[in-house]
């Protein structure tokens, strides 16, 4: 029996989601939650460990600023947890910072937003080093202006049933999209969506529709009609998991240092333009 009081630890966590079945522990597959809990247990064997995340990322999805909490009863100070865990975790999972929080603070329920970034590589040529982190769409030059107009229409509190995969246990599909951003840097398009909460598979289904708009295969009117009229059967293509990253979860008060949390996934600084300033509609060979 430990003589130390129970304390709540919050982690700023990064992971490469490619080798995992997602955040949540599952019977058939290796999850980030299971690996992290096993590492924590080696350092604090006095009590059962349950790690709670701000957002349950799906299989193959990455995180740059996931927030996790767990309760411990050992003597390790907060500033030692990050290095102690990193020495026990695979290189695909890194703890950037650890802090103590009040025992009633909750990584999921105390969060006021989650923010995801989806990266699309729109260059003609394949790029080995971008492949793990982006969706390569090369058949057409994407029209980012149309895509941005489609994104702006989503702002506010709405029913997003059209962007919810089957299997969700949520009682409804209502959520508030607080901010959206779409930026092109050469051949990289970065789409950021911030919401009070996300539905199961929401961002990947949404990005699949946005890319169809950008390729002029789906009109703005049809895009809006699909989600406003909850036409889930017409939303067929989901963007692949590898382009999606949970970049941060936000709280009323500051939890971590800016370097460990806000700047955990810096903007791409590459200029990867393959194409001329005024490319033809189809600019790559299929």
User: Which pLDDT belongs to residue 2?
Assistant: 52
Question: In terms of C-beta distances under 8 Å and separation of at least 24 residues, what long-range contacts does 174-177 make, across chains too?
Answer: 175/199
| Model confidence band, residue 99 (pLDDT cutoffs 50, 70, 90) | very high
**pLDDT value at 280 more than 70:** no
Q: Where are the domains of the chain?
A: 7-101, 113-250
Q: What is the pLDDT of residues 263-272, one digit of tens each?
A: 777 665 444 4
Cβ distance 134 to 49 under 8 Å? no
What residues form DSSP beta bridges with 14?
A: 94
Whole-number average pLDDT of the chain:
90
User: Which pLDDT belongs to residue 267?
Assistant: 66
pTM of the entire predicted model: 0.91
Show which residues are catalytic. Answer: 58
When pLDDT is averaged across residues 97-109 and rounded to a whole number, the result is: 97
**Smallest Cα–Cα separation from 275: which of 120, 123, 121?**
123
**Strand stretches in the chain, DSSP E:** 7-15, 52-53, 62-72, 93-101, 113-121, 135-136, 156-159, 174-185, 188-195, 244-250
For domain 7-101, the CATH architecture is 2-Layer Sandwich (3.30)
Cβ distance 188 to 134 under 8 Å? yes
Distance between CA atoms of 214 and 146, rounded to whole angstroms? 6
| Model confidence band, residue 281 (pLDDT cutoffs 50, 70, 90) | very low
Q: What is the pLDDT of residues 145-154, one digit of tens each?
A: 999 999 999 9
Q: How is residue 259 written in tokens?
A: 């370097």
Angle at CA of residue 112, ends 30 and 253, nearest 5°? 105
When pLDDT is averaged across residues 115-143 and rounded to a whole number, the result is: 95
**pLDDT value at 107 more than 90:** yes
Check for a shared fold between 7-101 and 113-250.
yes
Distance between CA atoms of 54 and 109, rounded to whole angstroms? 8
**Smallest Cα–Cα separation from 204: which of 133, 117, 93?**
117
Q: What is the pLDDT of residues 227-263, one digit of tens each?
A: 999 999 999 899 999 999 999 999 999 999 988 888 7
What's the topology of domain 113-250?
A: Alpha-Beta Plaits (3.30.70)
Q: What is the pLDDT of residues 40-97, one digit of tens each?
A: 999 988 778 999 999 999 999 999 999 999 999 888 999 999 999 999 999 999 999 9
**Smallest Cα–Cα separation from 117: which of 271, 272, 268, 269?**
268
Cβ distance 187 to 276 under 8 Å? no
């Amino acid at each position: 029996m430990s003589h130390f009081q129970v304390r709540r630890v919050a982690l700023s966590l990064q992971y490469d989601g490619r080798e995992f079945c997602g955040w949540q522990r599952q019977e058939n597959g290796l999850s980030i939650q299971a690996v992290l809990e096993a590492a924590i247990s080696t350092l604090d064997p006095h009590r059962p460990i349950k790690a709670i995340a701000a957002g349950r990322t799906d299989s193959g999805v990455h995180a740059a600023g996931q927030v996790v909490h767990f309760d411990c009863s050992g003597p390790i100070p907060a500033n030692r947890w990050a290095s102690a865990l990193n020495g026990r975790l695979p290189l695909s999972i890194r703890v950037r910072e650890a802090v103590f929080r009040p025992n009633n603070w909750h990584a999921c329920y105390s969060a006021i937003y989650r923010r995801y970034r989806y990266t699309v590589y729109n260059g003609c040529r394949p790029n080995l080093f971008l492949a793990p982190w982006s969706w390569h769409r090369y058949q057409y030059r994407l029209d980012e202006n149309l895509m941005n107009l489609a994104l702006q229409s989503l702002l506010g509190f709405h029913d997003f049933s059209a962007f919810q995969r089957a299997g969700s246990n949520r009682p409804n599909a209502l959520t508030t999209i607080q901010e959206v951003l779409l930026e092109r840097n050469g051949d990289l398009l970065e789409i950021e969506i911030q919401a009070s909460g996300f539905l199961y598979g929401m961002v990947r289904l949404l990005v699949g529709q946005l890319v169809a708009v950008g390729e002029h295969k789906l009109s703005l009117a049809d895009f809006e009609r699909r989600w406003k009229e909850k036409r889930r059967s017409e939303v067929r293509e989901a963007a692949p998991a590898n382009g999606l990253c949970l970049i941060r979860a936000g709280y009323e008060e500051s939890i971590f240092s800016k370097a460990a949390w806000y700047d955990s996934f810096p903007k791409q600084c590459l200029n990867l333009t393959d194409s001329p300033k005024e490319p033809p509609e189809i600019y790559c060979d299929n």
